[in-house]
Structure 1
Amino acid sequence: MIWRGFKKQLSNYLVFFFSLIFAVMVYYSFTAMTYEQPLIRSAGKNTQLVAMLGLGGFVVVLILLFFMTNTNRFFIENRRKDISIFHLYGLSYYQICLWFILEILFIGIFSFVIGISLGVLLSKLFSMILVKAMDLPLQVHFFFSTDAIVSTSLVVAFILLVVSLQVLWLVSRYKFSQLKKIQLRKIKAMTLSTSQKILAVIGVLLLAIGWGLAVFYLYFSRQWSDRFGLFQGNFLLMLLIFMICVVGSYLFFADTLRWYNAYRPKRLTKNLRILSRSEWQLRLSSEWRFLGSITVALGLALTLLGLMIAISSLVMRSVHESTPASLIVTSESFKKIEPELKAGFPYTKATVTLKAVPAKQDVRISGEETMTQPEVMDMVSLTDYRAFQKMNDTLGNIQLKATDATIILSSYQRFLNEYTQYDKVINLKQRKLFVQEMRPNFFGDTSMRYGTGMIVVSDKVFAETQGVAYKIEVIDVARRDENALNRIVKKNLKGDWDHPIHHDLSWKNGQIVGEIKTGDDTENKESTIYRSEYASHLETYRQARSTQGLILFVVTFVTTMFIIATASMLMMRQLSDFKQKRKQYLLLQQLGIPEKNIHQEINRENRYAFFIPALLALVHSILAISVIAHIAQNANYGFVYLFCGLMLAVYGLFYWITCMYQKKFL
């Protein structure tokens, strides 16, 4: 009887089996890369490769545990009749538990062996993808790790232990007398009480409110920022939207969809649509928690991916902003490398003269105090701006409309741009400048300058304004010579912070009080600012690419695995339910219902199961990403939208396989 029961569930176990194989393969590959010393040495210490891959592996374990426990619960619930019959035949509680545990161990061991084998074979592919994502100059070779196998076996053993304990708890709940109670619950599920109808309406209202807050997030966030502060207000508003959407999603499946399916107009008698509504009304009474959890988890996974992609996009964009040329170096340090540069390879150079000047511009940030104190600003003349522009095509053409006009080069405000307001007047010690325009700052790494802001002024204003003048050298070489240039820089320069300036600025009686001084001597009350020695494009790019590539690799693989795991769970539930519904479909055929209509019914039920949670999660994630876009502007969100399409494609594939299988064995 046990063997016959196992064979009866074999098709469900096959999906479970292959999904577990995939999970073991991914976890082994993540763990094996943490032991691959050439990869770790090539990545360098700054990327924290081992920690990031370890975090990815931990999340994989959580996904695997979620998948196994949910699937095991479904299997046990689906075989409650078998449990009750075995009770009648005299089998003890522990014998029945042992039956289920042995099935799980049997599948777990075989999945582990095959998953490890595939992981060993495909670990090189995973390493190649990681090396490409991090842009590392490394040749990947076949790698076998016994430590990774031991670690994977311990994880699988832990998960199987948790599932075995779950079996002991679940089996103890099912007795023969429970079958009648289950039947009564099914009958009761076909009707909704007044309170459930009220909750159904509340569910729709909560989703509408949550989505409305996300769509008009900027309007509400400004109000909350003014009341609670910038960061506290945004955090509380995000948390409120999240909680509203979570509760709304659960109520949507628990009551809203059930009430909708309870409505059966006469037009639904065609094509068995009324049968679909009845089936879904019945299923939602017991599976609303599962479907709600899938929806919320999928939305969170896609939102997290979108957040990581936004951050990576901004970081990689800042590489070109901070190092628009091959090398930016102080004039003092340029003299150290000039002889080797001249003897090495051709290059182009531009000298840019800057001035650190005391200036005041009021800046108001929503929910925070208005910044009214003077600060150090960097000033550049229009002539030097155009000289740098010849080497930096990202700098646009500018034309000052008046002598006292200025253009502010902001640090390309990607964060909280909508919450910041700048005054149109900049106060210097001897004059006022009027802001003509604000533009992104592609003038190089801010660590090479003193000021927090940068302004472009006319040559006359530049010459008449007092301040600390300093020069930076902008060097550009051909791409093929960047490695050689980087070696010269590393050989001769240390990358120190030097050339300090000191200031103690204040605003009194409508004027800036205080001076900017140079030198090492300073009073305790003065603020000191240093400049970096150089900024290398190749060095900055490699560091950013390796770090962000590693993060995207881990987040993308974990999200992909979670999507596959959730689609597998839905597929197993549909295939298992089909065994019980097959008799109903055969009866419909005997009653003369065309096969085409029955196939439409199969497609319809599977569409409900796969695409309602997926589409609801998709709406949640897209609106969440729109909220992130309000805060982190100018990021590239194309990849996450592509991944949303990939999620629908994966769910569509599992939906198609499920339909084909059911139609074949009808």
Structure 2
Amino acid sequence: MLIRIIWRGFKKQLSNYLIFFFSLIFAVMVYYSFTAMTYEQPLIRSAGKNTQLVGMLGFGSFAVVLILLFFMANTNRFFIENRRKDISIFHLYGLNYYQICLWFILEIFFIGIFSFMIGIGLGVLLSKLFSMILVKAMDLPLQVHFFFSTDAVVATGLVVLFILGVVSLQILWLVSGYKFSHLKKLQLRKIQAMKISLWKKILGVIGVLLLLGGWGMAISYIDFAREASEYFGLIQGNGLLMGGIFLLCVIGSYLFFAFTLRWYNSYRPKRLNKNLGMLSRSEWQLRLFSEWRFFGSITVALGLALAILGGMAAVVSLEMRSVNEIAPASLMITRESYEKIAPKLQEMRPYQRQSLNFKTVPAKQSVEISGEGMNSQPEIMDMVSLSDYRSFQKTNPTLRDISLKTASSTVVLSSYQRYLNDYTHYSKSIYLKNRRLTVQETHPNFFGDTNLRYGTGMIVVSDKLFNETPGLSYTIEVIDVKNHNEEKLNRLIRKRLKGDWDFPIHYKLAWKNKQIIGEVSKGEGSKKEDSTIYRSEYTSYQEVYRMTRSSMGLVLFVVTFVTATFIITTASMVTLRQLSEFKQKRKKYALLRQMGIPDKTIYQEIKRENRVVFFIPAILALIHSILALSVISHIAKNADYWFVYLFCGLMLVVYALFYWISCVYQKKLL
């Protein structure tokens, strides 16, 4: 008889266990696929050492474990709370604490092991697809084959056993806290849930104010960031401001669900008498009393996951865009190294060649970075003529059009303009040793790889001024070949050049009596106070592209799949709670039907409850993430965020799908 009762209790939870089961299968499949790729030697060799493939995939696997642990712990707590009546019956039939716990643990282990077997099977079948996506994301010249790893199976099995062990300890703790008076206390809590005292209303108002304050600071981030940078420094100020916005949104979200929404639902205007609106608000008010922590956690975690994805997408976008800015031509090479490969370049005709002439000169321009003070010491700058600039602009279309207004005008190309434009202020004058220049404009420095030049800054001047200004001259050759010769050119470079840092210069500069004191000389400095700078030998577009694409593609791949896993597991948790709550409320709906309320009206009420539960946390998380992206966009200028907005839409689609599944299933049970 007891076995029959236990089995009946298990069958009642079977539909809930199915959602738990399928979500666990998906997580196991993703974890196995990530782990298997770390043992796939052809993929690792093709990726190379610079991408750190194993470490990044290991991080993704660890993140999946944390998500899985969070999912199972929350779901298991919910299962135990929903089976309080079963625990009471078990006690009445004489089962002790350890026997009850053992039964629940066996249920979890049965589902966990079964889902592990199916998840591994699907992971083995789909691991080739995962590898193909990774190879495509990293743009690796690799043919993907079917791969099975026993080490990955063992590692996945150990992780699942560890998680099941943690959940078993949770079961022991949850069941030990059960008392027979729980049901009576639950009724008292329901009565308390319907009462909203004055201090709870105050906390509800505070929750809204905190959310509005955090959102307002995010919208006007740059104004607050400048003030914070002045007081605490650039990095510390921005870090504190971001942390402050995050805390406001987190605390505000929890207070919003705990008090604000409950207070709102306690207000029941007469218009709600139609279509069971009064019942809907009462149910939602009661639900929030016991589950506000769950909804708050889902909201914060979803917003944070999408914000992290947005940050990574911004980094990937900027890094991929920088490929054409660092290497705008097939090859940029020093004149000395060009002469070594010039005879072999004849085999790649036709190709375009351009010589860029630079001068390294002592110069002084005051640069102020908010919170970091002002740098007004003289340094070396690279100078290029306007004619060379315009000629190179044909090869590098990212360069902006420039027209100098006077003979002493100059345009500054700054490396700060991409990331710290809102925090950086330049003086309008640049002092050379023999004259003063007027800064006409300041643009981002897209003049190729800065490692090929000496200066921390770069200025564009008229041809006449370039020829009249003394300085150390050097030349960079720009070679642009046809696409089908890119690989051949790269092999030639690897064979003939070492990629060394060479051509040193040294200097010691000072500012006295409104003049620059000191000279720039070739060779390494012989004194400790001398500053020595080297230049790199060449920059190849294909090398830069492959290195950037492989590393950024790997990052985006891991973060994307981890975020997708988290979105699916959170939607599964919400669905699980909805279906379980519905089974407990079926008697209420049956009573409404006996009172003459049409099935259509009852179904509309069910859909209304599902919409509130699914979409309020999702929309609030969406607002958090979009405003987080606005903060990131103030720091990382000109990044593309379409991928993140696509994922935000994907999150809504996933939640809408689970909402639809819940409604359809509940309609069948109605």
Aligned to 1:275: 279
**Residue pairs, 1:321-332, within 5 angstroms:** 321-332=325-336
Say which of 566, 574, 583 aligns to 2:578. Answer: 574
Single out whichever of 234-243 and 42-51 deviates more from structure 2.
234-243
Residue pair 1:502, 1:529 contacting (<8 A) in 2 also: yes
Say which of 355, 358, 373 aligns to 1:354. Answer: 358
**Residue pairs, 1:233-244, within 5 angstroms:** 233-244=237-248
Aligned to 2:540: 536
Q: Secondary structure at the match of 1:169?
A: helix
Matched, 1:597 2:597: no
**Residue pairs, 1:476-487, within 5 angstroms:** 476-487=480-491
Say which of 168, 175, 197 aligns to 1:171. Answer: 175
1:597, distance to aligned residue in structure 2 (A): 1.2
Aligned-partner residue type, residue 644 of structure 1: C
Say which of 468, 472, 479 aligns to 2:472. Answer: 468
Distance 1:151 1:516 in 2: 59
1:556, distance to aligned residue in structure 2 (A): 0.3
What's the % identity of the aligned pairs? 72
Q: Secondary structure at the match of 2:585?
A: helix
In structure 2, do the counterparts of structure 1 residues 64 and 80 end up closer, same or farther at CA, with 3 Å as the change threshold? Answer: same
Distance 1:396 1:114 in 2: 57
Distance 1:385 1:104 in 2: 69
Aligned to 1:424: 428
Matched, 1:214 2:254: no
Distance 1:365 1:410 in 2: 13
Q: After superposition, what is the alpha-carbon deviation per residue over 1:264-320, rounded to whole angstroms, capped at 9, x for unaligned?
A: 111111111111110011111110111111111111100100011111111111111
Residue pair 2:348, 2:485 contacting (<8 A) in 1 also: no
Aligned to 1:150: 154
Matched, 1:117 2:121: yes
Distance 2:420 2:595 in 1: 65
1:521, distance to aligned residue in structure 2 (A): 5.0
Single out whichever of 591-600 and 2-11 deviates more from structure 2.
591-600
Distance 2:383 2:88 in 1: 84
Say which of 655, 660, 668 aligns to 1:656. Answer: 660
Residue pair 1:204, 1:252 contacting (<8 A) in 2 also: yes
Aligned-partner residue type, residue 611 of structure 2: R
Distance 1:204 1:343 in 2: 70
Residue pair 1:83, 1:175 contacting (<8 A) in 2 also: no
Say which of 258, 264, 272 aligns to 1:260. Answer: 264
Aligned-partner residue type, residue 17 of structure 2: Y
Aligned to 1:139: 143
Say which of 410, 417, 421 aligns to 2:414. Answer: 410
1:8, distance to aligned residue in structure 2 (A): 0.7
Aligned to 2:564: 560
Distance 1:570 1:389 in 2: 55
Aligned to 2:81: 77
Residue pair 2:413, 2:442 contacting (<8 A) in 1 also: yes
Q: After superposition, what is the alpha-carbon deviation per residue over 1:512-548, rounded to whole angstroms, capped at 9, x for unaligned?
A: 1111001245322110110000000000000000000
Aligned-partner residue type, residue 559 of structure 1: T
Distance 2:371 2:28 in 1: 49
Aligned to 2:230: 226
Distance 1:50 1:134 in 2: 14
Distance 2:606 2:521 in 1: 80
Say which of 44, 47, 50 aligns to 1:43. Answer: 47
1:387, distance to aligned residue in structure 2 (A): 2.3
Q: After superposition, what is the alpha-carbon deviation per residue over 1:403-445, rounded to whole angstroms, capped at 9, x for unaligned?
A: 1111112226221210111111111111111111222322110
**Residue pairs, 1:629-648, within 5 angstroms:** 629-648=633-652
Distance 1:640 1:321 in 2: 24
Aligned to 2:624: 620
> Where in structure 2 are there 5+ consecutive unaligned residues?
none
Residue pair 1:87, 1:175 contacting (<8 A) in 2 also: no
Residue pair 1:357, 1:516 contacting (<8 A) in 2 also: yes
Distance 1:665 1:305 in 2: 39
Residue pair 2:385, 2:460 contacting (<8 A) in 1 also: yes
> Where in structure 1 are there 5+ consecutive unaligned residues?
none
1:624, distance to aligned residue in structure 2 (A): 1.1
Q: Secondary structure at the match of 1:474?
A: strand
Matched, 1:103 2:100: no
**Count, aligned residues:** 666
In structure 2, do the counterparts of structure 1 residues 521 and 72 end up closer, same or farther at CA, with 3 Å as the change threshold? Answer: closer
Q: After superposition, what is the alpha-carbon deviation per residue over 1:222-241, rounded to whole angstroms, capped at 9, x for unaligned?
A: 11111111111111111111
Residue pair 1:229, 1:366 contacting (<8 A) in 2 also: yes
Distance 1:618 1:393 in 2: 37
Distance 1:82 1:303 in 2: 42
Distance 2:524 2:439 in 1: 34
Aligned-partner residue type, residue 500 of structure 1: P
Say which of 64, 71, 74 aligns to 2:68. Answer: 64
Distance 2:396 2:240 in 1: 42
Aligned-partner residue type, residue 125 of structure 1: L
Distance 1:344 1:205 in 2: 66
Distance 1:419 1:585 in 2: 61
Q: After superposition, what is the alpha-carbon deviation per residue over 1:208-229, rounded to whole angstroms, capped at 9, x for unaligned?
A: 1111111111111111111111
1:195, distance to aligned residue in structure 2 (A): 1.6
After TM superposition, the runs of 4+ consecutive aligned structure 1 residues lying more than 6 A away are none
Residue pair 1:345, 1:481 contacting (<8 A) in 2 also: no
Distance 2:93 2:270 in 1: 47
In structure 2, do the counterparts of structure 1 residues 396 and 206 end up closer, same or farther at CA, with 3 Å as the change threshold? Answer: closer
Residue pair 1:377, 1:455 contacting (<8 A) in 2 also: yes
1:581, distance to aligned residue in structure 2 (A): 1.1
1:402, distance to aligned residue in structure 2 (A): 1.0
Q: After superposition, what is the alpha-carbon deviation per residue over 1:62-94, rounded to whole angstroms, capped at 9, x for unaligned?
A: 000000000000000011111112112211111
